[in-house]
Structure 1
Amino acid sequence: MITIVLGAQWGDEGKGKLTDILCAKASLCARAQGGNNAGHTIVANGQTYDFHILPSGLVNPKCLNLIGTGCVVHIPSFFKELEDLQKKGLDTKGRILLSDRAHVVFDLHLLIDSLQEGELIEAAEKEQSSDRQVVVAKKSFGGAIGTTKKGIGPAYSAKHARSGVRIHQIFNKEELDKRLRVLARGAQKRYGSAMKDYDVEAEIARFDTHREHLRSFVINAVPLMASAQKNDMPILVEGANALMLDINHGTYPFVTSSATGTGGAIDGLALSPFKIKDIIGVVKAYTTRVGGGPFPSEALNDDGDTLQSKGHEYGVTTGRRRRCGWLDLVVLRHSHAINHYTTLNLTKLDILDHFDVIRVAVSYTDPLDMMNSSAPVTYKNEFPADLSVLDRCEVLYEELQGWKGQGRVAGAKSWDDLPQQARAYVEFIEQNVGVRVGYIGTGPSREDMIVRSDM
């Protein structure tokens, strides 16, 4: 049966620890979408492992791991990540497979990604019109989307424009070379002198060195997944990024370039919906976001600074400081409506040990219609698609009593060990989202997880 673990907010919720726990019982751990723009940190046996494109099921020596068809893969980064894990003593031999239908991220895509971000910043700085996307971009993050500049967007763009290169095409040198040169010529026409430092022949030569080494990892993933599901193999699907970064349902255009939810997992791995047992939404006890875009519950004050410092909120992939704010129930309801969670994993509850009062965003009010003597629009069970609405919305908070000085979540090993106010916070989330919290993170290590006995 299939268990899917998905980020329920803007990413960085701490999906890696739950994946690590669940993969102990999994025979196959798979990535469905995204590339090495994702980041999972797992602390196991006193060792810290950072995963990006590789599934974190590699920590379990009995677990087979698959990078699925919906992913995009930068081959040098794939090999570098494998090497880094092996240097830390992790034996990955024979346990990592790569779908031959996944798409290739070229160094060319990394350069294009950087150039596109630069153009957005320049446009926002120069644009004086009332164009909504430019204005919102400028307000949110200096005009940039805030990508990791790992080439993910350009690779997916090439895929959907039918000009991309799939993994199996690497093994046909003539075809690979031809297609990469066509991509390079198109980029040269588009970006001109900005492409002067890119050498397509040098990149072709690098693939000549990768080709044979890569061959042993590549398979047709369709029969593998069909067989695994037919035989009821325990399958763990590790979601990358999170629902609010979904290309369809997130805060577009400040999103990633793949479908990050349940639908993306089904499509990216050829899953049978009838074989799915659990869809676990991973929710940080507060909210963070890396990069640009709206963030209604962002705390631009001492509370946000405390969350950032106590939570050590820096991106695993980029090292960027994460924006921090309070838990947002409007976001979680929207996320649940799309992903249909069966269970929630609430992470980093211990970080709230430092607060006397905890705020939770429960709804937004759009004041625009009040100017026209009409009733304001309230958003509670829906998340607005229009970023200009989010930009002007007022957030309604409910304040809950914290447990600072009255007990600690850090170190708690059971539900009953939690301070009463912490249990009330968990129950408040359950009541407002309509999903049971089955897992509660109480610290950074593998052991710091309460599994509810009534689950």
Structure 2
Amino acid sequence: MVDVILGLQWGDEGKGKIVDYFASGYDVIARFQGGPNAGHTLYVDGKKIVLHQIPSGIFHDNKINLIGNGVVLDPVTLKKECDAVESMGINCKKNLYISARTHLILPSHRALDKASELAKGNDKIGSTLKGISPSYMDKTGRNGLRVGDLLDKSFISQYIKLRLKHQKLLDNFSFNEDISTWEEEFFEALEFLKQLQIVNGEYFVNDAIQKGKKILAEGAQGSMLDIDFGTFPYVTSSNTITAGVSSGLGIAPQKIKEVFGITKAYCTRVGSGPFPTELDDENGELLRKTGMEYGSTTGRPRRCGWIDLVALNFACMINGVTQLVMTKADVLDAMDILQVCNNYKINGEETNQVPFQMMRSKVEPVYKKFSGWKTDITSIKNFNNLPPEMSAYINYINETLGVPVKFISNGPGSDQIIVAS
């Protein structure tokens, strides 16, 4: 049996805490796409840790954590992450597995990412400059190097060949930075990577399913950043939706059961791109300040706005979401009035569909107002004890999306989750 947890907005929905919460009920936690541009924040024994590539079940003893073939892996970031995790008493060599088909991010991928973004000038898409896009480009261009290639005696010659190709591209960008120190760090990290458990991920995970193990597939970024269905071109380079589980782990679609979709109680976005419900006023600033909305990977302040049910309905549809998890509901405690976008107005006409290209149309959100609950909800444990104003807010979302909110995160603590009976 395979269940999926993924974000329904533009990332930063709080997936790390939620995966950590659910992990105890599963045998295998597997990342199926993305790279070190992900930032899944956990609090372990009161200490904050941000995971970029390691699955968020790593702190659960005797749980298997798999980095799937749909991920692009930066060995340097992985080594630093493993060092941080091991400093907290976890042995990564024991319960972390990596698919041999996982593509590697090279130092020259990072350089290409930076050079390309700089060349865009005012048309930047807001890349995290981690080398994600160039690595996926080499994957689809059939040039990339994979984790399994490390075990081949021809790896160095393959690396040099690809590195020379990248250098020609960098020369076209007039990129003159010396990345030799990046390469030294990279090759040191490769030696560490070789010590981890490299497996045929697709056989590994299907064997676990055959044995009756419970698999939790962990997504990165968010559905509105999907390369096909997101707000293109302001998207990531992978399929962030449920379909990505099949291609990113080698799991047949009929094996998937529950799809847990995570949404904040409001909306945020990092970087460029359309954001219909964005607030450039005191409400937006209050959301940012109260929610501590700064990118866990980049540190950039997040753009903030009201919840967008048009986009959420779209995300639920393409993912087949069966249960909703709402995070950061406590951030709304201080708000007098809440607004919910339930339609878009485009060229004077209302629609409940996400347009093909948001950037080419003036998209105006159509709002429904709700009274704020003006109550501290951080200690509530039961849905029945929600303030009536909050119940009205949740019920409207349930009815509009046709998918129930089953879990509400009401604080950063691992125990601060309200579960529907």
Q: TM-score, normalised by structure 1?
A: 0.89
**111-120 or 45-54, larger mean C-alpha shift:** 45-54
Return the offset for 1:301. Answer: 0.4
Mapping of 1:212-291 within 5 angstroms?
A: 213-291=193-271
- How far did residue 421 of structure 1 move? 0.4
* 1:362 CA drift (Å): 1.1
CA deviations on 1:214-253 (whole Å, 9 max, x unpaired) are 2432111121111111122011111111100000000011
CA distance in 2, matches of 1:245, 1:171: 34
Residue 116 (structure 1) shift: 0.8
The CA distance in 2 between the partners of 1:190 and 1:237, in whole Å, is: 36
Q: Which residue number in structure 1 is paired with residue 372 of structure 2?
A: 402
**Equivalent residue pairs, number:** 420
| CA contact 1:180–1:200 (8 Å) conserved in 2 | no
Of residues 163, 182, 189 in structure 1, which corresponds to 2:161?
Answer: 182
Aligned residue number for residue 311 of structure 2: 331
Residue identity in the other structure for 1:440: I
CA 1:60–1:11: 2 relative to 1, 3 Å:
same
Which residues of 2 match residues 44-59 of structure 1 at below 5 A? 44-59=44-59
- Higher Rg: 1
**Structure 1 residue aligned with 2:406:** 438
Q: What aligned pairs does 1:83-94 form with structure 2 within 5 A after superposition? A: 83-94=83-94
SS in 2 for 1:346: strand
Alignment of 1:30-179 (within 5 A): 30-121=30-121, 142-174=122-154, 176-179=155-158
- State how far apart, in whole Å, the 1-side matches of 2:70 and 2:409 are: 29
Match of 2:350 in 1: 378
For 2:294 and 2:373, how far apart are their aligned partners in 1? 25
Deviations 1:95-122 (A, max 9, x none): 001100000001111111111111111x
Would the alpha carbon gap of residues 343 and 148 (structure 1) be closer, same or farther in structure 2, given more than 3 Å must change?
same
Please list every run of 5 or more consecutive structure 1 residues that lacks an aligned counterpart in the other structure.
122-141, 368-375
Which residue in the other structure is 1:354 paired with? 334
1:133 maps to none
Q: What secondary structure sits across from 1:57 in the alignment? A: coil
Question: Could you report, residue by residue, the CA deviation over 1:430-450 in whole angstroms, capped at 9, with x for unpaired residues?
Answer: 011110111001111001001
Structure with more helix by fraction? 1
The whole-number CA distance in structure 1 between the counterparts of 2:192 and 2:75 is 12
- Structure 1 residues 44 and 191: alpha-carbon distance in aligned structure 2, compared to 1, 3 A threshold: closer
User: Do the aligned partners of 2:333 and 2:372 also contact (CA within 8 Å) in 1?
Assistant: yes
State the match for 2:4 in structure 1: 4
Is the partner of 1:93 in helix, strand or coil?
A: helix
Is the CA contact (8 Å cut-off) linking 2:101 and 2:200 kept in structure 1? yes
What is the percentage of aligned positions where both structures have the same residue?
Answer: 37
Q: 1:303 maps to which residue?
A: 283
